[in-house]
Structure 1
């Protein structure tokens, strides 16, 4: 009995480290702030939710500040070497990524091509939403045509963001091991070899 190892310890030892605590914190805080932005936007634009929630002025304030704070987790994460390393991986697009997009291979590094495109698109969308939101917030600083254009872009991009984020959540929900990796930082080695073989090797 003294020389045996429990199955739980053996399983934990066999798992592969995928994300550091800092990376998971950035993801979690970004998800919370984005969720607040989307929820408050829905309360502002859907009459049924607006009537249910009420207190429009408070909802507007929460929406504005959650949007303003959205880049904060990313900026704080830059202090982490692991987070900066993942950013470098997300910014590189190789031949295997193009093959992955054409469905010719499942070969992927730590992030597949879909994850890289999603991360890049989301970063750009957040910047545009932040810029247009500021133009709408400080109405006295810009001409009416700018505010009108900002409102149009902000509203339609918000709708697009909602759809894309719903797709992201749906794909994560369909992959329990991926969710476990973001929740605990570790993944099953067989999953890593199957889904991200270039990173695993």
Structure 2
């Protein structure tokens, strides 16, 4: 999918539907993370109180987390971008090698619409979300599974939640460091110069 020119200086990157999916998913994930922190960090639990309400918010926001993506499958542009995210090529291996060696030259990190780091993040967070959903359901509907399963699900859910929090912090940090990428997600457009530097194969 090639970028479509909007103005002499900009190209189109994301549709309105794709931006809605990202914002809605981010909001639900934010509620999950914040409510989890309020449940497991004693000072926050004491500050917020109303544990039953926090638990309810955590359960339903987690259950709703896959819904924006499922609804987005009706969008052709979103399905195309999922295809891009799910497809690794030789240039992605080159990008990862350059990233591991901390080579910041743009020519050393060729990328299509999404770079290899974004593809790895998308695959990891999608898998982690499904595991969190499955383990969360086991903890919620306790009568459906044996005690050993519930104990294991609690262990996986708690530690994976901590890992997700760390990965999300890294994701947000990367976004903060790249104002043009944020503009692309906010408005749907990015500058031609940025597209050429950061996603040369897509721009080409």
TM-score for the superposition, normalised by structure 1? 0.93
Question: Secondary structure at the residue paired with 1:102?
Answer: helix
List alignment gaps of at least 5 residues for structure 2.
1-5
Larger radius of gyration: 1
- In 1, Cα distance between equivalents of 2:144 and 2:151: 13
Question: Secondary structure at the residue paired with 2:14?
Answer: coil
Deviation (angstroms), 1:197 = 0.4
Question: Secondary structure at the residue paired with 1:16?
Answer: strand
Query: Are residue 100 (structure 1) and residue 91 (structure 2) matched?
Result: no
* Residue matched to 1:77: 72
Alignment of 1:11-22 (within 5 A): 12-22=7-17
* Residue matched to 2:172: 169
* Residue matched to 1:54: 49
- In 1, Cα distance between equivalents of 2:109 and 2:168: 23
Deviations 1:31-51 (A, max 9, x none): 000000000000000000000
Deviations 1:40-88 (A, max 9, x none): 0000000000000000000000000000000000000000000000000
* Residue matched to 2:162: 159
Alignment of 1:174-185 (within 5 A): 174-185=177-188
Give the length in aligned residue pairs: 191
* Residue matched to 1:125: 128
- In 2, Cα distance between equivalents of 1:100 and 1:106: 4
Deviant stretches of 4+, over 6 Å: none
Question: Secondary structure at the residue paired with 2:138?
Answer: helix
List alignment gaps of at least 5 residues for structure 1.
1-10
Deviations 1:127-182 (A, max 9, x none): 00000000000001111000000000000000000000000000000000000000
* Residue matched to 1:8: none
Deviation (angstroms), 1:14 = 2.4
TM-score for the superposition, normalised by structure 2? 0.92
Question: Secondary structure at the residue paired with 2:165?
Answer: helix
Deviation (angstroms), 1:102 = 0.3
